[in-house]
Amino acid sequence: MALLDVKNLSIRFAGRSAAEDVHAVRGLSFAVEAGQCVAIVGESGSGKSATARALVGLAGPNALVEADHLLLGATNLLAFGPRDWRAVRGRQIGFVLQDALVSLDPLRTIGAEVGETLREHRLVPRTGIKPRVLELLASVGIPDPAQRHDQYAHQLSGGLRQRALIASAISGEPGIIIADEPTTALDVIVQAQILRLLSELKADGRGLILISHDLAVVSRLADHIIVLRHGEVVEDGTPEAVFQRPQADYTKALLAAIPSGRTRGQSLSGDAPRSAAASAAKAAQPVLVASGLNKQFGQRHVVNDVSFTINKGETVGLVGASGSGKTTLARIVLGLERPQSGTITLNGAPWSALPEHRRRPLRPRVQLVAQDPLGSFDPRHRVIDIVGEALEIIDFPAAGRRAEILRLLASVGLDAVHLLRRPRELSGGQRQRVAIARALATRPSVLICDEPVSALDVSTQAQVLDLLAGLKRDLELTMLFVSHDLGVIQHVSDRVLVMNDGRIVEEGLPDIVLEQPRHPYTKALVEALPRLPVG
C-alpha cells in the first residue's frame, strides 16, 4: 500500500460567483511509496503550493478540495475535520515551508519551535523534550545544538534556519514529508547540504513530495516528476524521460529557459537571439572603480582588500556563498556602508569618500534592484506612486511625469493597465519589472542587481533576465549583478568575481572561471551546483 495515494484531485477557490471561481488544480493523480520522491514542478500559479497545502488540510476556508480518493495509508483524508487534521500534521505528514525566516516564530526559540510537535502530540515526557530536540538538531547537521536550541530564527543563517524547519518537520517521525521550495534563495553550497539531508531522509524510508520550480534541484532527488501548468498535468514520468525526452511544449520551454553559459547572448523566453558581443569592440570606459576596500564588523573582516573595475555597458557578476561578503560589498558600492579603508570612484570622481551631504545629490547615479520588491515597496502605494517617487527625487517636471512613467513602464514590458495597481495586485515578475522601471527612472550610471531573480520561477526569471539584457543593449547599462546562482551569473556576466570570506578569490571571463576554476573555493561552488541530466 502506498504511503499516500491521490486520485483525480481538484482544488477550487470560491469567488463571489461561480464565474469568478478559481480552479487551482484539476485532475491531479499520483502515489508516494516509502523511500520514493515525487516532485511537482511548474511556474508560479501552476497549483504546486495549493496541492501541498491541500495535502495537510491547509488549503484555506474558501477552498473546495475534491478527489476520487485521497488516502494516507488506508485513511480517507477527505472525511477529515480540523481536529482530525491536527492529529495528522507533524505526526504522519511533515511540512517544510519555503521561507524559514517567515515560517519560524520570531518570538520563540529554535528549541521551542522544533519541540512543538513533541509537545502537541505528547510523543515524549516533558522532561525528555529538550534532549530529543538536541538529537533532532544534531541529526540535521546543525552544529552546537545546545547553543542553537536557545537562539531565535534571526540569529541563524539561512541554511541553519532551513535545517531547523526540517528538524521540526521530522520530529514526529512522519512517514510523508512535503517540502515546498525548500532550497529557494539558498546558495549552492547550503542548497547541496539541504538536498543531501532530504536524500538521507528518503533513504531512511520516508516518502518525499518535493515542490519546486528549480528543475536541476528536482533532478537530484526525484523518482517521478509531475509538470503542472495552470493546475493541469502537462507531463509526468521519470527524470530521464521528462528531462531527456520531453513531450510537452511547455516542458521543453521550461528546459530552454534555464540560464547557463550556453545560453549567454540568447533569449531565454523565446524571443529572437541576441548578440552577446555587441559592445565587445568598444574601448573600455571605467565607470566604477573600487580600490583596496576594507570593512570590519567587530573582529570579522567582511570585506578584505577588495578591488575591481566595471566598464561602461559591462555586467560584472559577483558570486559567493551566504556570508561571503557580497551584500556588504554591494552596500558599500551603493553608499549605504562606508568602508574603513579603500575608495570607490564613480565616473572618475570620488564616491565612497564623499560626506553624506555631498553624496546625497549624486545618489540617483547608483540604483538598486533588490531581491524582494514586495518587501521594498510601500504596500499602500500604487505603481504610479512607486515609479513617480523616483522622478520626484531628480526633480522631473511634474507636467510630464505621467508620460515619463508610462514610457518607463513600456520599457520594462508593462502598460497603463498597471498604473493604479498596488504591489500585492502584481505577479512576482511584474513587481520585479516595476522595481527595474523605478531604478531606471533616475538614469543611473550603475545598476546594482542584488539577487533580482532568486525567488522567481524559471519562466518569470527568463523574462526578467531577457529584459535586463535588452536594456543593457539599448541603454548601455552598467551593472553589478549579485547572485548565488552560477547559471544565472554565467548567462548574464561579461566578467565574474568570486568572493569568499570577504576576499575576491578568483576573477575573469565566466566560461573560464566557472568551467575551469582554479581556486579551491570556486571549485567547491561549481561541484555543488545541481545539473540537469539533459540529453
Supply 177's cell numbers: 514529508
**Which of 178, 162, 181 lies closest to 43 in space, CA to CA?**
181
Our measurement of the distance from residue 162's CA atom to the centroid of its chain's CA atoms, rounded to an integer in Å, reads: 13
Does 435 score more than 80 pLDDT?
yes
Q: What residues contact 446, with CB distance under 8 A and at least 6 apart?
A: 287, 288, 310, 333, 346, 365, 366, 367, 478, 479, 480
Of all residues in the chain, the percent with pLDDT exceeding 70 is: 97
Count of helix runs (H) and strand runs (E) in the chain = 21, 21
Mean pLDDT of the region 166-189:
89
Task: Give pLDDT, residue 144.
Answer: 93
User: In the prediction, which pLDDT does 534 show?
Assistant: 60
Q: Encode pLDDT of 440-491 as tens digits.
A: 999 999 999 998 888 788 888 898 899 999 999 999 999 999 998 899 999 9
Per the CB < 8 A criterion, the answer to whether 312 and 347 are in contact is no
Is residue 456 a contact partner of residue 371, using CB atoms and an 8 Å limit? no
pLDDT, position 88: 94
- Return the pLDDT at 44: 81
Whole-model pTM: value is: 0.85
* Share of residues in the chain with pLDDT > 90 (%): 72
pLDDT at 331: 94
User: Which residue in 239, 186, 177, 244 sits closest to 211, CA to CA?
Assistant: 177
List every span in the chain annotated with CATH 3.40.50.300. 287-382+437-528
CATH 3.40.50.300 fits 287-382+437-528, yes or no: yes
For residues 31-54, give the mean pLDDT.
93
The predicted pLDDT at position 159 comes to 77
- For residues 321 and 331, the model is more confident at 331
Q: What is the mean pLDDT of residues 54-80?
A: 94
Q: Of 224, 177, 175, which is closest to residue 1 (Cα–Cα)?
A: 175
Where residue 280 falls among pLDDT bands split at 50, 70, 90? very low
Chain mean pLDDT for the chain: 91
Helix 129-139, helix 110-120: angle, nearest 10: 120
- Please give the angle made by the CA atoms of 390, 393 and 399, to the nearest 5 degrees: 80
Grid coordinates representing 277? 558581443
The whole-number pLDDT of residue 251 equals 93
Q: Which of 143-147, 237-241, 274-278 has the lowest mean pLDDT?
A: 274-278
Looking at per-residue pLDDT, the higher value among 20 and 95 belongs to 95
Average pLDDT on 97-118 reads 89
Average pLDDT over residues 171-200: 88
Which pLDDT score, from 0 to 100, does residue 97 have?
A: 83
Instruction: Look up residue 127 and give its amino acid.
Output: T
Where does the pLDDT of residue 39 fall: very low under 50, low under 70, confident under 90, or very high at 90 and above?
A: very high
pLDDT band of 271, cuts 50, 70, 90: low
pLDDT tens figures, 331-357: 999 999 999 999 999 999 999 999 999
479-502 tens-digit pLDDT: 999 998 899 999 999 999 999 999
What pLDDT, on the 0 to 100 scale, is given for residue 192?
Answer: 87
Q: How far apart are CA 83 and CA 403, in angstroms?
A: 56
Indicate whether 277 pLDDT > 60. Answer: no
Confidence of residue 358 (pLDDT cuts 50, 70, 90): very high
Helix axes 458-475, 249-256, angle to 10 degrees: 50
Q: Is 453 helix (H, G, I), strand (E, B) or coil?
A: coil
Nearest to 216 by CA among 253, 254, 179, 160: 254
287-301 pLDDT, tens per residue? 999 999 999 998 889
Lowest mean pLDDT among 90-94, 122-126, 131-135, 272-276: 272-276
pLDDT at residue 282 in the model: 62
